[in-house]
Amino acid sequence: MSMSASSKPSTVVVIGGGIFGVSSAVHLARRGVTTILINDGPVANGASSRSLAWLNSSRKRSPEYQQLRMVGIDRYRTLAAKYPDAPWLRFNGGLTWDADDANNEIADVFAHERELGYDAQHLAADGIAAATPGVDASTVPEQGAILNPGEGWVNLPSLIETLVAEFQELGGKLVTDAGKATVTVTNGRASGVTTTSGATFDADAVLLATGSLVPKMVSDHGQHIGDDTPIALLVRTKPVKTTLKAVLNTPRVAIRPTPDGALALDSAWSEEEVIAHGDGTYEIKESTLQGLLAEASKVLEGNPTLEIESYGVGPKPIPGDGEPVFGELQAIPGYFVAFSHSGATLGLIAGELLADEIITGRPHPLLARFRPERFAQSA
Ligand SMILES: Cc1cc2nc3c(=O)[nH]c(=O)nc-3n(C[C@H](O)[C@H](O)[C@H](O)COP(=O)(O)OP(=O)(O)OC[C@H]3O[C@@H](n4cnc5c(N)ncnc54)[C@H](O)[C@@H]3O)c2cc1C
């Protein structure tokens, strides 16, 4: 880190109005730093607008990543205590099961989660109704399901709206519909931001939080961040009569409730069926959409007829090794990045820790594993 504790930045520019940019901007503003948040379009117009946004640390991952996710969930619990009635943030658990084949990991995952102290119950199909409502358990195989009562979901556009309102109340400057912004580097360090409309902003530090575009944008400055971003599809149904409360993760569909009584759906197979045209547009087959609705109906109690309200398609930011990328580029002092999958779960904590690093110049130990330089070393 280049900045000493005595050189608190006076102005920081954040590029990107998704959850990472907005969360970082509000944390900077809370700590009294003059902060400018710049987005190409309106806020929440990227991956954060079409996320399943299941808050979790389920299954197996590195201990450091597990810990960061748990701390991330902790911050959501604090937020939920502040907004107990918010329809956009609920902690009603998550229910997971696998296909009935050789890859079924449920027993293994349950043992692992139990060892970690991650709240988990291993349920047989006939035990599900008593534990969580709204599920058609006839589709759960004999290996059973895992209920994680501590999990939840957030509607990211609502959270972003709440955080942006606080940011502006604190005096933060929001610049939307700015077109593509780029980081200006002067004498080897980040010195500000320029937008395609010609506006320039000087800064002591810049945070690049442009979602899937982070690897491409840092490569313009000779930096390498591994990229494994796929195109993803999120389908939103019309409001539906269901008593479902938990987030469902099933072999053919993931489902979560929405603030307006509808459901959000995604899955790996439907994501793979998206056709990406060379010009940046996408095509979704009607059979993909109807197939996803049918899979969702099958796992819901009473098998309700589901209809599509809307869907969102586009890149889902995922680093090359699947783990988060947070912090300052060692080669370009003052140039910070945020690029990660699971940005719903990590959104609050990432913004908090990045703001802390930008302000104090002290690397935070919770982010030590997630530095951008690990890609340069492996390249
Ligand atoms: C289908 C799907 C399901 C998901 N499920 C989950 C889940 O269950 N749990 C979970 O924790 N996470 C989940 N995620 C991941 C999570 O949603 C993302 O990690 C998170 O939204 C990423 O936020 P971001 O701020 O990095 O990017 P974005 O939300 O994409 O924001 C980046 C912003 O930067 C803007 N921008 C880009 N380039 C520029 C530029 N040059 N100048 C100005 N602005 C620019 C974009 O327009 C955009 O608004 C899911 C994502 C998808 C798509």
CATH superfamily of 11-48+157-226+321-378: FAD/NAD(P)-binding domain (3.50.50.60)
Contact 163, 75 (CB under 8 A): no
pLDDT at residue 194 tops 90 = yes
Residue minimizing CA distance to atom 25 of ligand 1 = 18
Residue minimizing CA distance to atom 35 of ligand 1 = 16
d(CA 32, CA 55): 29
Contact 183, 217 (CB under 8 A): yes
Contact 350, 25 (CB under 8 A): no
Which ligand 1 atom sits closest to the C-alpha of 45?
49
What spacing in Å lies between the alpha carbon of 101 and ligand 1's midpoint? Answer: 33
Q: What is the pLDDT of residue 377?
A: 66
Q: Which residues line ligand 1 (CB under 6 A)?
A: 15-21, 38-41, 45-48, 50-54, 156, 180-181, 209-211, 213, 232, 234, 266, 316-317, 340-345
The single residue listed with the structure tokens 């609050």 is: 348
Mutate to test the pocket of ligand 1, among 39, 61, 90 (most ligand atoms within 8 A of CB): 39
pLDDT at residue 379 tops 60 = no
Q: What is the pLDDT of residue 8?
A: 81
Range 94-149+230-315 classified under CATH 3.10.20.10 = no
Residue minimizing CA distance to atom 20 of ligand 1 = 343
Which residues belong to CATH 3.30.9.10 in the chain? 94-149+230-315
In this predicted model, what pLDDT tens digit does every residue of 8-63 receive, in sequence order? 889 999 999 999 999 999 999 999 999 999 999 999 999 999 999 999 999 999 99
In this predicted model, what pLDDT tens digit does every residue of 122-156 receive, in sequence order? 999 999 999 999 999 999 999 999 999 999 999 99
d(CA 355, CA 361): 10
Which residues belong to CATH 3.50.50.60 in the chain? 11-48+157-226+321-378
Contact 322, 368 (CB under 8 A): no
Tokens linked to 99: 């296909």
pTM above 0.75, yes or no: yes
